[in-house]
Homo-oligomer: A and B are copies of this chain.
Amino acid sequence: MSEFDDATHVEADGSSAIHDGWDINGNANGGYLLALAANHLRAVSGRPHPLTVTGHFLAPGTPGPVQVDATVVKSGRRFSTVTGQLRRGDSPIMQVTGMFGDFSQTNNAFSHIAGGPPDLPPMDECVARSPGQGVVSVPLQQRLRVRLRPGDESFAFGKPKGIAEVAGWFAFADGRPVDTVALLLACDAFPPAVFHIDLPPGWVPTLEYTVHVRAVPAPGPVRCLFRSQFVQGGFFNEDGEVWDSTDRLVAQSRQLGLTPLA
Q: Does A173 contact B (CB under 8 A)?
A: no
* One of B110, B215, B261 near A231 (C-beta < 8 A): B110
* One of B109, B113, B210, B259 near A230 (C-beta < 8 A): B113
Count, chain A residues at interface, CB 8 A = 62
Residues B229 and A215 in contact, CB atoms below 8 Å apart? no
Interface string of A88-109 (1 = CB under 8 A from B): 0000100101010001011111
Q: Which of A192-249 contact B (CB under 8 A)?
A: 194, 197, 199-200, 207-208, 210, 212, 214-215, 227-237, 248-249
- Segment of A27-35, A38-46, A52-60, A130-138 in the binding face: A52-60
Chain B minimum-CB-distance residue to A53: B208
Q: CA separation between A259 and B92, bound complex, in Å?
A: 36
Copy count, this protein chain: 2
- Segment of A79-87, A146-154, A177-185 in the binding face: A79-87
Q: CA separation between A113 and B235, bound complex, in Å?
A: 12
Q: Does A114 contact B (CB under 8 A)?
A: yes
Q: Does A129 contact B (CB under 8 A)?
A: no
